[in-house]
Amino acid sequence: MGMTDPIADMLTRIRNGIKVNKEYVDVPYSNMKMGILRILKDEGYIKNYKVFVDERRLRIIKVYLSYDENGEAVISGLRRISKPGRRIYVGAKEAHKIKRNVGFVILSTPKGILTDVEARRKNVGGEALLHVW
């Protein structure tokens, strides 16, 4: 049987990796995860990510976690908003309310995976995937 929520699984892998100060975590590949990781890298929350093919010919994303000079993780929180059992959709002007002035929200929109700020600039709403701070 497949995974119910692959995005939540990725967030949990990142959280667990941070707790034990791992340099990187491996995540099964998907285009949506690539879009989320692109934003996390652009915003400086992770160092990098690379796609590899393992011995079973499955694509794996290696997510290189980012820590500050004191060894503290740059990501202090990741929270899944829209879930498979309860999808949450927001308009362009409502997305910023979810974050409560902390961090940013990542949305899946018709114009791609965007932050709440980019979505507002492009005047497009969508599914609120996660809150990062």
Read off the pLDDT of residues 49-68 as tens digits, 9 standing for 90 and up: 999 999 999 999 999 999 99
Nearest to 25 by CA among 35, 4, 11, 45: 11
Question: In terms of domains, do 51 and 102 share one?
Answer: no
Residue 70 lies in a domain: no
Look up the domain containing 54 and give its range. Answer: 6-65
How remote is the C-alpha of 97 from its chain's centroid? Answer: 18
- Same domain for 122 and 89? yes
Cα three-residue angle 16-80-45, rounded to 5 degrees: 60
Residues of the chain short of pLDDT 50, as ranges, are: none
Q: For 109, which DSSP code?
A: E
H or E stretch including 25? Answer: strand 24-28
Q: How many distinct structural domains can be found in the chain?
A: 2
Q: What pLDDT does 2 receive?
A: 77
Query: 53 in a domain, yes or no?
Result: yes
pLDDT of residue 100: 84
Q: How far apart are the first and last CA of the chain?
A: 32
Residue 20 lies in a domain: yes
